[in-house]
């Protein structure tokens, strides 16, 4: 800016130039290094060079067209959302399964919309690049399409999800259409639908008879026609899931449905081995780690070191100058002296 007017001798501009040069001569103040001493630290994610772009519906569609499997996983809080995002998961589902694996409830029917919004908001703070979907819990969408739309809007506005998932096939088609008409992406869910496990006599494989398999196909086609961008196939024989996948024009996300689906999803707590010994795992779950075992070892070591006063060591504590420590001791002694003197005089 100044170079452009270097030949102009206007006193005003010269004065401006003088002031700017004087300003430039001022040495910058050294930045103070501040040590955070809180017992809780914020877990804000830091973007890294080369980090993948935000996953969108177009991203998922392109993966489907290329025949590249879509990877999905559940998450229930900030940390589980963070690690899923960092691992390159494309779809992170805030599943109502957290009612059982995270909250200790008997089944998924107990969890409320308000609960799902809370957990969805926590996960969505972490998923900077993954496409985040949240389950509509039982009781939040079955009464009417209007109820479903209101619940979906709350999930998106308050829960910060990019889409919703709901269970049911042809009977939910009008509801799905109503939600998608508002601009909210919907993921379908057919086959074993856990929210309806009481009417299914428990968590049983679906599609083992020809009639039942045809019903699942019809349900998948119905939710596709209603506007779903993908559909979960749960607990369906792999041959049936493969044929349904071939018949559809949207991705199928399998869970206990074989490897011919367009993608896979698992419950993160199950596949990471976070549950205590004896916790029942479905047949289709593969444990990729033993978080429970590692956590137990860490906590046992913490107990041992705390009991022996080995922890906290010097490197885990904060210091005070000798001068201030001496001053503190002197003031403490003076306070005790004054207190004793006051007690004797009273």
Beta-strand pair 70-74/263-266: parallel
Q: CA of 75: how far to CAs of 219, 241, 293, 338, in Å?
A: 26, 25, 20, 59
Is 315 known to be catalytic?
Answer: no
| DSSP for 26-69, written as a single string | SPPPPPPP-----SS--------TTPPPPP-HHHHHHHHHHTPP
Catalytic residue among 68, 142, 234, 323: 234
Contact (CB, 8 A) for 187 and 180: no
Q: What burial class does residue 159 get, using C-beta atoms within 10 Å of its C-beta: 0-12 exposed, 13-18 middle, 19+ buried? A: buried
| DSSP for 55-119, written as a single string | P-HHHHHHHHHHTPPEEEEE--SHHHHHHHHHTT-SEEEE-TTHHHHTT--SSGGG--HHHHHHH
Contacts of residue 269, Cβ cutoff 8 Å, sequence gap at least 6:
74, 76, 80, 101, 102, 275
The residues annotated as belonging to the active site are: 234
């Amino acid at each position: 800016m100044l170079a452009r007017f270097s030949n102009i001798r206007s006193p005003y501009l010269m004065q401006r130039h003088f002031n700017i040069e004087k300003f430039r001569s001022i040495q910058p103040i050294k930045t103070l290094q501040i040590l955070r001493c809180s017992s809780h630290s914020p877990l804000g994610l830091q973007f890294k060079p080369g980090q993948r772009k935000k996953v969108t519906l177009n991203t998922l569609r392109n993966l489907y067209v290329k025949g590249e499997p879509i990877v999905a996983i559940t998450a229930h809080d900030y940390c589980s959302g963070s690690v899923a995002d960092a691992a390159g998961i494309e779809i992170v589902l805030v599943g109502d399964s957290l009612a059982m694996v995270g909250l200790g409830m008997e089944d998924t029917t107990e969890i409320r919309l308000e609960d799902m919004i809370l957990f969805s908001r926590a996960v969505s703070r972490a998923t900077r690049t993954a496409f985040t979907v949240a389950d509509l819990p039982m009781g939040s969408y079955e009464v009417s399409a209007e109820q479903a739309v209101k619940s979906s809007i709350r999930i998106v506005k308050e829960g910060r999800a990019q889409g919703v998932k709901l269970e049911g096939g042809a009977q939910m088609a009008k509801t799905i259409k109503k939600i998608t008409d508002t601009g909210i992406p919907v993921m379908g869910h057919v086959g074993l639908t856990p929210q309806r496990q009481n009417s299914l006599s428990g968590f049983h494989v679906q599609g083992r008879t020809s009639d039942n398999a045809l019903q699942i196909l019809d349900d998948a086609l119905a939710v596709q026609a209603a506007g779903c961008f993908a559909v979960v196939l749960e607990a369906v024989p792999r041959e049936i899931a493969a044929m349904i996948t071939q018949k559809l024009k949207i991705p199928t996300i399998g869970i206990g449905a074989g490897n011919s689906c367009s993608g896979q999803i698992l419950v993160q707590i199950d596949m990471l081995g976070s549950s205590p010994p004896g916790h029942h795992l479905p047949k289709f779950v593969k444990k990729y780690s033993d978080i429970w075992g590692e956590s137990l070892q860490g906590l046992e070591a913490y107990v041992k070191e705390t009991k022996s006063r080995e922890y906290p060591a010097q490197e885990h504590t904060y210091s005070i100058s000798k001068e201030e420590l001496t001053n503190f001791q002197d003031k403490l002694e003076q306070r005790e002296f004054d207190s004793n003197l006051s007690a004797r005089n009273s």
